């Protein structure tokens, strides 16, 4: 669990993303506002910077508030479970 939001060192879009906890989303992600959800795989502890993240191909909220999603990088596929107190990155449309 991270206590403060991690930061992005690099972002390839004109609009800056939103970094928030899964719990703060209230079990919904407005698709009209956000285009993609990114699972944060690795954060560098020294400066709290996100160094690896992957977009979720599909996602849904479990009854207990976790965000469950499928990551498909081409090299590997994985189902990830993101707890309500963990952070995600949302790209803004």
The answer to whether residue 2 sits within a structural domain is no
Does any domain span residue 14? yes
Residues 26-39 pLDDT 10s? 999 998 999 999 99
pLDDT at 55: 96
Overall number of domains in the chain: 1
Domain range enclosing 34:
7-92
Specify if 1 maps to a domain: no
Query: Which tokens is 20 given?
Result: 């928030």
- For the chain, list residues with pLDDT below 70: 1-2
pLDDT at 74: 86
């Amino acid at each position: 669990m991270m206590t403060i939001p991690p930061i992005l060192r690099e972002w390839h879009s004109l609009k800056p993303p939103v970094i928030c906890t899964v719990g703060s989303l209230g079990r919904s992600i407005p698709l009209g506002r956000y285009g993609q959800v990114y699972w944060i795989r690795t954060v560098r502890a020294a400066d709290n910077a996100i160094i690896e993240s992957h977009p979720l191909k599909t996602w849904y909220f479990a009854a207990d508030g976790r965000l469950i999603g499928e990551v498909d990088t081409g090299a590997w596929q994985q189902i990830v479970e993101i707890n309500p107190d963990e952070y995600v990155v949302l790209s803004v449309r």
